[in-house]
Amino acid sequence: MFSFSNQTSFYQGKVRDVYGIKDKLLMIASNRISAFDVVLPQPIPYKGQVLTQISAFFLEKTREIVPNWLEQSPTPHATFGKKCEMLPVEMVIRGYLVGSAWRAYKAGQRIFNGVELPNDLKENGILPFPIITPTTKAEKGQHDEDITGIEIIEKGIISKEIYAKMKEYTFQLFQFGQKWVAEKGLILADTKYEFGLYNGEVYLIDEIHTPDSARYFDIKNYEESLKNNTAPTQKSKEMVRQWLIKNGFQGQTGQKIPIMSYEWIEAISNEYISLYEQITGKSFVKYEIQNEDLENFVNNYV
């Protein structure tokens, strides 16, 4: 944790530390990893760097679609840019029936944010078309909750015009992301985007298309799983969630967080790094955090 001379605010999330630097934000991605709304006691080496560099990569690639908050990345684990007014809704978009959407569908739900799905869909199967299932952006210590676009507008959470712009950007970003990773042998199954206002204009904020905010399938593995009627391997934080479930932890009261072996921690780290290299086509260069690099950058910011 830093204490910068020109710091105006500080917020620690599950994974990121966010510093207000005058009228800007400095976001540092730690190696902490969370699951089931719990920060696990053991960090994952280089995870923060992977999140930062994948996000910065896509923020640069999507500037023609939507303006975003990023101005520069002073170190491989930190991003710096515009301080936007956060819009308190996460725009979750799904191209495949997986995760919480599948669990709701299996339980009988057919209408998702006003869109009715047919009765013959299968787990991990492609949806007839991408659907947006927004959630509230909960306060620290609380859970996000599903909400419809109509409720967002009726409750005055976001205006009709701004929500329409968020929807437009969400579909465009998802289409871009799916096309980009398909050329790299991946499927972008679902993801989320967060938006804010800067001078009254909608901006993309936070991260984009990282393994913590998106779910990926390997195309070859996915096709084989369909033939064999087995579950495809997910390339995302889901590997950690499934390991926790297997070891008796889902964040419920009284459950004890299992301890990860060194070998398992290394496997998770390698999976994150591998995904970075597959998505970007670049070799991952491990960066050992040097506090003075950030201190020099921030303290010299006028």
State the average pLDDT over residues 109-136.
95
Q: What's the pTM?
A: 0.93
Residue type at 139 in one-letter notation? E
In the predicted structure, residue 193 carries a pLDDT above the cut 80: yes
Of the candidates 227, 300, 247, which has an alpha carbon nearest to the alpha carbon of residue 26? 300
Share of the chain above pLDDT 70, in %: 97
Q: Among 89-98, 107-116, 286-295, where is mean pLDDT lowest? A: 286-295
- Four-point Cα dihedral 37, 198, 21, 157, nearest 10: -30
Q: Residue 5: pLDDT above 90?
A: no
Residue 104 falls within a domain, yes or no? yes
Question: Does residue 170 belong to any structural domain of this protein?
Answer: yes
**Does the residue 54 lie in any domain?**
no
Write down the pLDDT at residue 142: 52
User: How many domains, in total, are found in the chain?
Assistant: 1
Please enumerate in sequence order all residues whose Cβ is within 8 A of that of 297, keeping only pairs 6 or more positions apart, or say none.
74, 75, 80
pLDDT in tens, 8-53: 999 998 899 999 998 899 999 999 999 988 999 999 999 999 999 9
What is the torsion angle, in degrees rounded to the nearest 10, for the CA atoms of residue 80, residue 85, residue 90 and residue 94?
-60
Average pLDDT (211-227) is 92
Residue 270 lies in a domain: yes
Which residue type is seen at 145? E
pLDDT: which is higher, 235 or 173: 173
- In terms of phi and psi (left: phi > 0; alpha: psi -120 to 50; beta: otherwise), the region of 144 is beta
45 domain residue, yes or no: no
- Domain CATH code at residue 107: 3.30.470.20
Q: State both tokens at 21.
A: 């630097």
Residues 97 and 118: their CA atoms lie apart, in Å, by 12
The closest of 173, 174, 183 to 278, measured between CA atoms, is 183
- Domain limits for position 141: 85-293
> Predicted confidence band at 238 (pLDDT cuts at 50, 70, 90)?
confident
Residue 143 has pLDDT above 60, yes or no: no
Across 232-244, average pLDDT: 88
Q: Tell whether 124 is covered by a domain.
A: yes
177: phi > 0 → left, psi -120 to 50 → alpha, else beta; which? alpha
CB proximity list for 141: less than 8 A, separation 6 or greater: none
Sign of the Cα torsion 89, 92, 98, 102 reads: positive
pLDDT of residue 139: 58
Q: How far is the C-alpha of 40 from the C-alpha of 251, rounded, in Å?
A: 10
Is residue 155 a part of any domain in this protein?
yes
pLDDT at residue 147, rounded to an integer:
94
Q: What interhelical angle do 262-280 and 238-246 show, nearest 10?
A: 160
The answer to whether the beta carbons of residues 103 and 56 sit under 8 Å apart is no
Q: Region 137-162: what's the mean pLDDT?
A: 84
pLDDT for residue 4 is more than 90: no
Q: Render pLDDT for 48-98 as a digit per residue (tens, 0 to 9).
A: 999 999 999 999 999 999 999 999 999 999 999 999 999 999 999 999 999
Indicate whether 161 belongs to any domain.
Answer: yes
Q: Mind giving me the DSSP string for 160-204?
A: HHHHHHHHHHHHHHHHHHHHHHHTTTEEEEEEEEEEEEETTEEEE
What gap in Å lies between CA 146 and CA 150, rounded to an integer? 12
Average pLDDT, the chain: 93
User: Are 133 and 113 a contacting pair, CB within 8 Å?
Assistant: yes
- Predicted local distance difference test score (pLDDT) of residue 236: 84
